[in-house]
Amino acid sequence: MSKPAGMESPLELAKRLSLPFLDNPYQLTRALTHTSYLNEHSEVLDDNERLEFLGDAVLDFVVGAWLFEHCPEMREGELTKARSALVRTEALAKFARHLDLGRAMRLGKGEKRTGGSKRDALLCGTFEALIGAIYQKENLDAVKEFFFPMLDTFGDEIINGTPLSDSKSTLQEWTQAQKMGIPRYETVAERGPDHAKIFDVETHLNGKIYGKGSGQSKRVATQLAAKETLKILGVE
């Protein structure tokens, strides 16, 4: 059976995303198969519900590991809230859209007709199933290698609700090009209760204090301090 125009086969998806299923796409095909498709195709043996369950559990661990590694200033309560934000339906649907999984999802006619490939719930479930399939085919390290770059790109935006540009890298590139050295960031204050702590960070450059930033994590405060420094220097 030929695939509809604009759709992507599991093998094409595996090639595009460098997924470890080129030798045997069965598990990837299963991860992309919604129960509505299974109900309409008697030759199909499995849908993605069990892989979705597995992927949900794997994501909890992997996201927790990423937060523990990249947000050392966060306390347990903050880590729990951040993990919840990163594994909620809307966030996982965002990752699925980033990968353009909708074109590869195998849906029944009714789900296709009602735009199932664009709905958060189905995109979320497919992403969870994909993570489950990668874990089952390989291991946790393979999941981390696949998912950590997306967390690096979208993690702060999702946790804080607003995009956080990489002002820190921009500032360092500019100051090095101007032979001004490398900016140094100093946390000058921590205020508020443990469950809602605010960090104040200053940018130091050539012995002078430039921009200041405040945020619910040192990473956010540092980016804001770098952004203010760029404005002071007339770079943006």
Q: How many helices (H) and strands (E) does the chain have?
A: 11, 3
CA gap 233, 107 in Å, rounded: 53
Considering 12, 46, 49, 56, which one is annotated as catalytic?
Answer: 56
Is residue 128 among the annotated active site residues? yes
Is residue 166 among the annotated active site residues? no
159-74-129 Cα angle (round to 5): 50
Considering 52, 128, 156, 202, which one is annotated as catalytic?
Answer: 128
Q: State the burial class of residue 81 (Cβ atoms within 10 Å of its Cβ: 0-12, 13-18, 19+).
A: middle
CA gap 102, 122 in Å, rounded: 9
Active site residues: 56, 128
